[in-house]
Chain A
């Protein structure tokens, strides 16, 4: 019977069935469950309200919620500046490592170290290093004459987001370094030799050869990091908890607090669905603009 079945066009569907079941169980079901929760009343500490269908109630609330709009704006700032910094530092580090200078292997390991640290550990470490009483960073800046007294970086709304972005960039730039370095290894050296003969300097070579050749890798890395930055509240949770005030409140942190402080899983799910849609739109626009799927 199996022999006969394997000759039919249904055989390939049968072979795909285990994978489909697995994907349904671990991807589709949780996603659909999360989406349907956003249309329900789901407050764990208010069982008296039930879990009935509430339509677009949570989405309507979101439109009138100033914390949502503030979090959306902060998310844009957080993601944009963190990505720019991470990309630039990652690119410089990758170019330096690609030159195979003496000690490159040791530097490669050292550069990758921050990426291996859990966010919570990195957060607490930087929280201590930037501490307004005992922080070594304040001490160094004071000795260098860049500040005139110890600063409370995370207590001042003018510096809290910037300080958190710097910590995030330090933590995650190795991700770009790793991917860009892999891309650099794949560029034929002949291209550089030919460009050099044609009189192209290092900057022109970077602009006309290196960056176009690793464009696909950069696009993939940016999309992955944007997803990571939008979805992960842990670093900001440790560093600022969204404060002072709500000056570092981002969407993921707002959704986390709504779920696990207010126990309002319905509204938190609606926030998550909006983040999901925003990320899909971003990825679509970014891929179209970078034209990576036309090559």
Chain B
């Protein structure tokens, strides 16, 4: 028996195959949504924390596949800006508080207000948590993933040997930095971040001396107080030699290495480096934590939040599941366990695994007085391209504190003009 394929039969079969092929991708997508996530995690402990959260998320949402991509902090804004301009945005992006104004102004973020208002865990977060991701019209563009709670690490063994206790004021801090310095042994009091990323500390010190960048809604700098602040902070290197000479080029990696290898006795950072630190030095014995010291005019600690924001509408529902999962106590505790990053959720922060640990007590205390970092369009660029190089110029003796502050003021006016 021979069978022949009629023309009609061939067309019917072809149409059937074409229809099935066209439907298959939709069926597959319905089975598994894929979202990509841009973040600035860099250290091994941060990656461990991220992996823990991703694994936990995948167990709860097996139909959503998350692909993470690390964007180093210095290149973050360049990459996101390029993605926005080229419309090749990721689904979700991590947004630090101080970057919100610029990203919002360029239209990079998607309004989450309605989703947040109907979210069953909205009550776990104080309204204040959203302050630095809310625009002038009250629209919210991100969900806090964790908090950057600044604090100080110090070498407890060195301090004990010198009969010192953790400094609570800038005067005590300076005294301790000088006391533990022994340049002949290549030992210094303080790991100053004078390179990439150090601008926020310069701005905090200025505010601690009475020169906030934003005061009563007005942007500006009190020149005399800012000069005093820059002179004091730079003086730790230029007058007292209590800081390694590499400070003008020391970024995150360098200050961490200096503290972890026993070159420096104190370091300002945030709780996110706690587990990293504990892998080099014994907590409570070799190092301890303390609240940031108070300046002559104020005690400043920037409670920044890392927000997760939607940057594309393409997979909005799946992306929302991912960013809202970070608000679950289990995810928050998993991240804290791997890194030390503090939960943004009040419910998670009250977890006995956190509240009961004395080494985290300074972080809990900081939550009581800390405030958000300044945020206005142009702030991030001004702090990075003006404050940092001008402060470095003071450190290397190219400018006086007066000259540096005058140029910072000029650049600030240019940035907001």
Contact = CB atoms under 8 A, between A and B. Distances in A.
B195 A262 contact: no
B78 interface: yes
A90 interface: no
Contacts of A152: 244-246, 248-249
B380 A261 contact: yes
A154 B251 CA distance: 12
Contact of A256 (B78, B85, B388, B415): B78
A133 B378 contact: no
B276 interface: no
Given A45-B378, A155-B250, A263 B392 contact: no
B105 interface: yes
A241 B254 CA distance: 15
B284 interface: no
B398 A132 contact: no
Interface in A230-273: 237, 240-247, 249, 256-263
Given A242-B389, A262-B415, A45 B249 contact: no
A44 interface: yes
Interface string B211-248: 00000000000000000000000000000000011111
B88 to A, nearest CB: 16
Interface stretch (B29-37, B255-263, B294-302, B320-328): B255-263
B81 A245 contact: no
A254 B258 CA distance: 30
B254 A260 contact: no
B249 A155 contact: yes
Contact of A155 (B82, B186, B248, B257): B248
Nearest to B249: A155
A261 B247 CA distance: 22
A44 B81 contact: yes
A113 to B, nearest CB: 24
B355 interface: no
Given A157-B396, A157-B398, A244 B377 contact: no
Interface of B: 74, 77-78, 81-82, 84-85, 101-102, 105-107, 186, 194-196, 244-250, 254, 257-258, 261, 263, 377-378, 380-382, 384-385, 388-390, 392-393, 395-396, 398-399, 415
Given A155-B249, A157-B396, 14 more contacts: A44-B84, A45-B106, A45-B381, A46-B377, A47-B107, A131-B254, A133-B258, A149-B186, A152-B248, A155-B247, A160-B249, A241-B74, A243-B249, A245-B389
8 contacts: A44-B105, A45-B106, A45-B377, A132-B246, A152-B244, A155-B245, A245-B392, A262-B415
